[in-house]
Amino acid sequence: MLLYRKITGGYILSITNALLKKLRTDAGLTQEKLAELVGVSQAHIAKIEQGKVDPRLSTINKILQVFTVGKKTKCKDIMTEGVLLAKPNNSILKVSEVMVRHAISQMPVIEGSRIVGTITEERIIKNLCSNIAEKKVKDIIGPPLPMVFEETPIDNVRILLRKHQGVLVVRGKAIVGIITRSDFLKIIA
């Protein structure tokens, strides 16, 4: 709920502590994550939400910016469609050739209809040896990439990309795209 308080000569928007807490929880953010995004301490966010401190206008603006930036742009708007998949028994040679040909650095690994992991150029390089080309994907597979729905705001993905090389985009149970850090350049362009 947005409240407007009457002041001399007009009205001013009043952001309540309850509203800030609701916005944060609706966005799926912890106090710690919001504090990191805003550039304040988690304790300060807690005090704001409890109504123990009156934050500066600049802090409120930063908090509101976290909740509004990227809200209009959804994952489906920037994802790359046509995700190339690897299978556990594919050779590293075959997967490497696909990665080079398509200028990609990771491929989800699928077994049946389940994503079982990810093969990345980083994992291939870490496992370099004289017979790496003959090894199978299942020998050096990494954990699966996180998955989000195509309607997810891109701000949520930006947070995931700090720790992961990519994020899979799904519609129902079907993979419809992938987002990597380079896909965020589409926003600028």
Q: What is the pLDDT of residue 110?
A: 94
Q: What is the pLDDT of residue 117?
A: 95
**Do residues 137 and 109 make contact, with C-beta atoms less than 8 angstroms apart?**
yes
- Which domains are assigned to the chain? 3-68 (1.10.260.40), 75-188 (3.10.580.10)
**Do residues 183 and 79 make contact, with C-beta atoms less than 8 angstroms apart?**
yes
Average confidence (pLDDT) per 10 residues, the chain, 189 residues: 41 64 81 86 89 82 72 82 95 96 93 92 93 95 93 85 90 90 70
Q: What is the pLDDT of residue 187?
A: 64
Distance from CA of residue 132 to its chain's centroid?
Answer: 31
- Other C-beta atoms lying within 10 Å of the C-beta of residue 107: 25
Distance from CA of residue 61 to its chain's centroid?
Answer: 22
Question: Bridge partners of 150?
Answer: none
Q: What is the pLDDT of residue 96?
A: 95
Q: What is the pLDDT of residue 186?
A: 66
